[in-house]
Amino acid sequence: MKNPYEILGVSENATDEEIKTAYRNLAKKYHPDNYTDSPLVDIAEEKMKEINAAYDEINQMRNKGRGSGSNNSSYNSAGYGSTSSSQFYNVRIYIQRNMIDQAEQILDTTPQGNRTAEWFYLKGMCAFRKGWNEQAFNNFTTACNMDPNNAEYRAALNNMQNQRTYNYGGYNQSNPNIGGYNCSCCDICAGMMCADCLCDCCRVGC
């Protein structure tokens, strides 16, 4: 197993405070919320587990024994299981396993009359996994319009909206809803960028 200090990217002489900061930054970076619906969500979860274990181990080694952020690991994909009664149960399983071709095959053979909001949602999810963002966006929108009260469809659409309005270096940052869960470093960077832009304006103005 890898050295827990290496996993957190700190030296063995680091202070408790430094380790905590490093852990928090990594936990923010790999947080499964950042990977909602992404095909890489399981990898992010693995990383999260790895840093949780490393943080626990360091704490134990230092005889602190205090609780770590391992309660974070409860974030394990809460996504699908809840709707096992769904008519597209198999499709959901295939999507969960990243077997998009099989999932799409079932969806495509569904007769027009059975194409419910859930059908559009799952069709959108397949497209999203493939990276076909526009198709995914249209399907999620349709799903939400057909069933406006469904939290699952709404969450998928919101996730898309966040990505679409997120412009790292740019001026879109002024909207507080955007990228709320992203690291503060980005905000600082963006702030500096804006300040820089303002400076440029002044120079041109003068």
Partner 1 sequence: MFGYLQVQKSELLVRELEAYKAVYCGLCKQMGRDYSFLTRFSLSYDCTFYAMLLMSLDRSCTGFKDGRCTCNPIKKCKYALSDSDSYHKAAAFSVISVYYKLKDDISDGKFFKKLACRMLMPLFSHWRKNAAKKYSDIDKFAEQMMDMQYEAEHCNESSIDMSAHPTAFMIANLFSLEAKNETEKRIYYEFGYHMGRWIYLIDAADDITKDIKNNNFNPFVNRRTGEIKSGEYISSVLNQSLARAYEAYNLIDIVDFKGILDNMILLGFPNVQNKVTDKINTEANNEKSL
CB atoms closer than 10 angstroms to residue 83: 13
Torsion over CA of 169, 174, 178 and 183, rounded to 10 degrees? 60
Taking the least distance from each CB to partner 1, the nearer of 50 and 56 is 50
Taking the least distance from each CB to partner 1, the nearer of 12 and 187 is 187
Maximum alpha-carbon separation in the chain: 67
Distance CA 60, CA 46 (A): 21
Contacts of 68 (CB under 8 A, 6+ apart): 23, 52, 55, 56, 59
For residue 135, state whether it binds partner 1 (rule: CB under 8 A). yes
Of the candidates 170, 175, 184, 188, which one interacts with partner 1 according to CB under 8 A? 170
Stretch that binds partner 1, among 26-34, 72-80, 101-109, 112-120 (CB under 8 A): 26-34
Binding to partner 1 in span 43-62, by CB under 8 A: 43-44, 46-47
The footprint of partner 1 (CB under 8 A) covers 29-30, 34-35, 38-40, 43-44, 46-47, 127, 131-135, 160, 162-172, 186, 189, 192-193, 196
